[in-house]
Structure 1
């Protein structure tokens, strides 16, 4: 019996740490019927998934919710609807990586509108802060991103930044992006950024030419929101991103 308790200590400690961080002792692995119905009515990516993939998506969303602490800023509380949709945006991006839960980022901070960032003394719609282990979002602009498939999606944009950072941070989810494919992506990104700056490329918005990180985030927005047009305009870049993220949104469009 003593030996069994000794063996269980690491697992108990992990649960206690999770409770201190999230207020939830045991992670929830399943969504309620209410949550599933809400996703089905409000999250297009989930709507298009086949039944077996829907079940996997639900479990991933439940795990994301239970492993993060959602913190309201300049608002009274974070509703369960907010938690479900924000978690779904993270799972949408990471769906090709079964073991990636953006585990470095423990806190999701939510503001009603834009917020002031001390880092660069500007108002932001969203940001990712690896030092604070936090992803920060404006709820207004998060919702707007999913209302219109125009290649501008705050949730996907910030989750894309978090994904790139997660891949570099030395933890249990380190280095999950295929290095060879990542190098190919960087080469294509560099070429496209030059075209954007030169004014010969107009599919991606100009902000994507700021640096490699911003181009990746802007490309991810279009990858999920305008996959058919992305594939038609930039087939090699699109296929490279499919390989990098291990999924192909065009296939969902054709189902």
Structure 2
């Protein structure tokens, strides 16, 4: 009898906590339903962050502020988010130098900044298919197709491979629409979006299809032929087109928007890019 009474007392004591857990579970479920509805309705995530607390070291922040223009255009709130994402990126990825290249802090910071810039509008920003950043001094021989490359994304090895000299040229020259870092990070984002079912991937797929549909419009095809605005390599295949399109979007948004406003808008929605004047 005493045991039964004690069990009843314990049940009565635990009941409020059980109710609270159930209510929290229901609330979380309803929140996720609303979050999905919001993303589909407005074509952007309801929240990109739940918590922001990580900060770059003083030396890393100095490199970012002195060399990465995009960061300096952000609001104080977005700067905190950007730093949080960069610290996460730098902690998750292993940087490896090849052909005797010594990987320095500046290299890590600028590569992380480039990746975080491209994924800044996404809730899922961590490039989960990349574990390694392999850096060569210059062009390197790739066994993927037995040719020399400036960069590649190798999903089998979970590696983003870059020629540092070409990455640096692409990053420093900001108005030629040639940016190796943006190009290769976009390839990683493309494959991730094909393999995932999260909100960002759904939006990516939807806008990507709208971009491809635009290319079937005779008016757009005629203008592409007439202006030769995008470099020829863009038309290698649909994935290269998207990578090149993103280079143009980042480096010359005003010019891109003037020539192809619908393609610009779909790219902007694909990336959820509402920062720094884009």
Superposed, 1:105-254 pairs within 5 Å as: 105-148=130-173, 149-170=175-196, 175-189=201-215, 195=221, 199-248=225-274, 252=277
CA distance in 2, matches of 1:66, 1:138: 22
By how many angstroms is 1:189 displaced?
Answer: 4.3
Whole-angstrom distance in 1 between the partners of 2:157 and 2:183: 19
User: Which structure has the larger Rg?
Assistant: 2
Q: Match of 2:94?
A: 69
Following superposition, the deviation at residue 55 of structure 1 comes to: 1.1
Q: Does the CA-based 8 Å contact 2:136-2:162 persist in structure 1?
A: yes
- Structure 1 residues 198 and 172 mapped into 2: Cα distance closer, same or farther (>3 Å)? closer
- Any conservation in 1 of the 2:118–2:182 contact (CA below 8 Å)? yes
Q: Conserved in 1, the CA contact under 8 Å of 2:142 and 2:148?
A: yes
Q: Shift of residue 195 of structure 1? A: 3.9
May I ask how many residue pairs the two structures share in their alignment? 224
- CA displacement at 1:84 relative to structure 2: 0.7
TM-score, normalised to structure 1, is: 0.81
Structure 2: 5+ residue stretches without partners: 1-52
The residue number in structure 1 matching 2:59 is 34
1:171-205 per-position Cα deviation (integer Å, ceiling 9, x unaligned): 8798353443232122124559x849984232211
C-alpha separation in 2, matches of 1:77 and 1:196: 48
Secondary structure of 1:200's counterpart equals helix
Separation in structure 1 between the aligned mates of residue 239 and residue 264 of structure 2, nearest angstrom: 17
TM-score between both structures, scaled by the size of structure 2: 0.74
Q: SS where residue 135 of structure 1 aligns?
A: strand
SS of 1:247 mapped into structure 2 = coil
Which ranges of structure 1 fall in alignment gaps of 5 or more residues?
A: 1-27
Give the Cα separation in 2 of the matches to 1:44 and 1:190: 36
1:197-252 deviation line (CA, Å, top 9, x unaligned):
98423221110011000000001001010000000010011011111110146x52
